[in-house]
Amino acid sequence: MINNQIKSRGINDSKVLNAFEVVPRELFVSDEWKEYAYRDHPLAIGFNQTISQPYIVALMMTLLQLKETDRVLEIGTGSGYQTALLAEIVAEVYTVERIVDLMLEAKKTLKKLEYKNIYYKIGDGSLGWGNAVPRITEFDKIIVSAGSPNEPAALFSQLANDGLLIIPQGTQSNQDLMLYKKVNGEIEAHNYGGCVFVPLIGENGWDEK
C-alpha cells in the first residue's frame, strides 16, 4: 500500500509514511472488509460512512505539514484510523464524531492500541470542539473528513494564527480539497483538486435527511 499507492504518487513526508507503517488498517474495518483493508479505495464502516482511501488520507496529512508539537482537531472520527495516524505524529488529537456507535467502536480500538494523546467528543463536528473537555479554544491544524457545502466559519475561529485547515468543500456528490491558512487573522485559500467524501452533517454543514 505504502509503496504502490502513496509513495509512487508523490507523498514523501517521512512522518506520514512512518505513521502508515505503524498503524494496522485492518483493525479499523469489519471482518467482511479485512481482505480489502490495504486497497486504495474507501470501505464502508456502517451508518453510511466510510474509511477513506489511503492515498487521500496521506495527501491531506501531508498538506497539513504536521509537526510533533501540533494540537490537531479532527472532524469525523469515523473508524478511528486517521485518528491513530495523527496520534503517531502530533502531540495531541481532539476528535469529534456525531454518530455515537461509531465513536464508541473507534475509541475501543484506539484504547486497545494504547494511545494516550487522543481526546474525544460526540457531537456536531461542523461546530468544532466548542465547550468540550478539555477546554481548548484554538488548534494548530484542523482536518475535516466530510464534505462541507461552504467555508467552515466556525472552524476558522478555532484555528490558530499560522494554522492550517483542510476540508473537502462543494456539493454532496463532488467537492474540491481546500487548504486554508490563517495569516494575521485573514484566511488564505488553496485548491488541491476534486475529491468525494460523505457529507458533513450539522448546523454549519448539510441537513440530515
pLDDT tens digits, residue range 131-147?
A: 999 999 999 999 999 99
What's the CA gap between 20 and 23, in Å, rounded? 6
Determine phi and psi for 55, rounding to 5 degrees.
-60, -45
The answer to whether residue 209 scores a pLDDT higher than 80 is no
Q: To the nearest whole number, what is the mean pLDDT of the chain?
A: 95
Give the number of other Cβ atoms within 10 Å of residue 64's Cβ.
24
Give the per-residue pLDDT at 45: 92
pLDDT in tens, 149-202: 999 999 999 999 999 999 999 999 999 999 999 999 999 999 999 999 999 999
Q: What is the mean pLDDT of residues 77-93?
A: 98
Give the per-residue pLDDT at 42: 87
Asked if 80 and 24 count as a contact pair (C-beta separation under 8 A), the reply is no
pLDDT in tens, 18-30: 999 999 999 999 8
Q: What is the mean pLDDT of residues 50-72?
A: 96
Q: Cα angle vertex 12, ends 167, 59, to 5°?
A: 15
User: 20: part of which helix (H) or strand (E)?
Assistant: helix 14-22
Distance of CA 28 to the CA centre of its chain: 14
Give the per-residue pLDDT at 40: 84
pLDDT in tens, 36-47: 999 888 888 988
List residues bridging with 49 in a β-sheet. Answer: 46
Q: Cα angle vertex 169, ends 167, 170, to 5°?
A: 170
pLDDT in tens, 94-145: 999 999 999 999 999 999 999 999 999 999 999 999 999 999 999 999 999 9
Give the per-residue pLDDT at 70: 98
Model's pTM, two decimal places? 0.96
- Candidate list 30, 52, 126, 148, residue with the active-site label: 52
The answer to whether residue 2 scores a pLDDT higher than 70 is yes
Question: For the sheet containing 71-75, what is the strand order?
Answer: 118-122, 92-97, 71-75, 139-144, 159-170, 175-183, 186-195
Asked if 97 and 44 count as a contact pair (C-beta separation under 8 A), the reply is no
Crossing angle of helices 54-63 and 14-22, in 10° steps, is 140
The answer to whether residue 85 scores a pLDDT higher than 90 is yes
Query: Percent of the chain having pLDDT more than 70?
Result: 100
Give the per-residue pLDDT at 32: 87
- The three-class DSSP label of residue 76 is coil
Ordered domains of the chain (ranges, CATH): 63-195 (3.40.50.150)
Distance of CA 70 to the CA centre of its chain: 14
Asked if 43 and 57 count as a contact pair (C-beta separation under 8 A), the reply is no
* Annotated catalytic residue 52: yes
Residues 6 or more apart in contact with residue 54 via CB below 8 angstroms: 1, 5, 6, 20, 25, 38, 40
